Amino acid sequence: MVKPESTEIRIVLVEAQGPLNVGSVARIMKNMGFYNLVLVNPQCDPHGAEARKMAVHGVEILERATIVQTLPEALKGCQRAIATTSLDRSLPTHLENPKNALPWLLGYSAALIFGREDRGLTNVELNYAQRFVRIESDDAYPSLNLAQSVAICCYELYKAQLDRDNIPQSQPNPDSEASLDILEAYYQDLETMLLKIGYLYPHTASSRMEKFRRLYNRAYPSTQEVAMLRGMIRQINWALSNYDRDDS
């Protein structure tokens, strides 16, 4: 039996297109003891007959799934997030094996993010995750079905939780890490300030901010530390405003 902490992990599907896939995901989640399904702008009816037929005894997961319009909404309150991808990105980004990376989510308010069936997650959407996993497959046909990908990852999470139950270890401290929405507010403040002082330029801001995100995501700052950083930005903005007045 999987402990309740693992059921806090959100399985996030971004713009899922097939009701059969969504229903299959609900069934897989029920098999592995996960109950928190979040659908970002679904492109199908997650409550329709096709989805319910594939869900079998996982229909309850479909019925209480959270539906939101954007990925940041889906991650609100989460402290850790892993995205699945097979894309090569502009930054050196380590794509990890699910077995090695996914246990990092256990014990925290966390999310596991899956992209669209036909094109996965965009680079902008990947920016909201802290780590990335790729399911290894043959080069001749590397693309896995969405439900199959969810099944593999949920199984690895299920096994990792069983291992945690059987091997005594220090417990994580969820209170030590800021949630992703708090971090996102800081990133927005930082980008606005860096544009204001000319460190960033509009046409390169996105790629530069991606590097800052990677830096802070490796640090896992606490809520108090992010508050300190945002306070520093407020003070810098105040100083800039007063400097402008004095200069005039």
Q: What pLDDT sits at residue 126?
A: 92
The DSSP bridge pattern shows strands 66-68 and 80-84 to be unpaired
CA distance 128 to 138: 28
> CATH: 3.40.50.970, 3.40.1280.10, 3.40.50.9100, 3.90.190.10. Which one for 4-166?
3.40.1280.10
Q: What pLDDT sits at residue 248?
A: 53
Q: Can you list the positions of beta strands (E) in 95-135? A: 95-96, 110-114, 131-133
Query: Domain coordinates of the chain in residue numbers?
Result: 4-166, 178-247
Q: What pLDDT sits at residue 180?
A: 94
Q: What Cα–Cα distance (Å) separates residue 139 from each residue in 4, 83, 104, 142, 144?
A: 37, 21, 28, 5, 11
- The amino acid sitting at 51 is A
Here the tokens at position 24 are: 């299959």
Task: Write out the chain's pLDDT in tens, 248 residues.
Answer: 445 445 589 999 999 999 999 999 999 999 999 999 999 999 999 999 999 999 999 999 999 999 999 999 999 999 999 999 976 555 457 889 999 999 999 999 999 999 999 999 998 999 999 999 999 888 888 788 999 999 999 999 999 999 887 665 555 566 689 999 999 999 999 999 999 999 999 999 998 999 999 899 888 999 999 999 999 999 999 998 887 565 55
Q: Can you list the positions of beta strands (E) in 53-201? A: 66-68, 80-84, 95-96, 110-114, 131-133
Q: How far is Cα of residue 109 from the mean position of the Cα atoms in its chain? A: 11
Q: What pLDDT sits at residue 247?
A: 57
CA distance 25 to 23: 5
Q: Which residues have C-beta within 8 Å of that of residue 97, sequence separation ≥ 6?
A: 133, 134, 136
Q: What pLDDT sits at residue 86?
A: 79
Domain 178-247 class in CATH = mainly alpha
Q: Which residue has the tokens 């702008």?
A: 41
Q: What pLDDT sits at residue 143?
A: 80
Q: What pLDDT sits at residue 241?
A: 86
Q: What pLDDT sits at residue 191?
A: 96
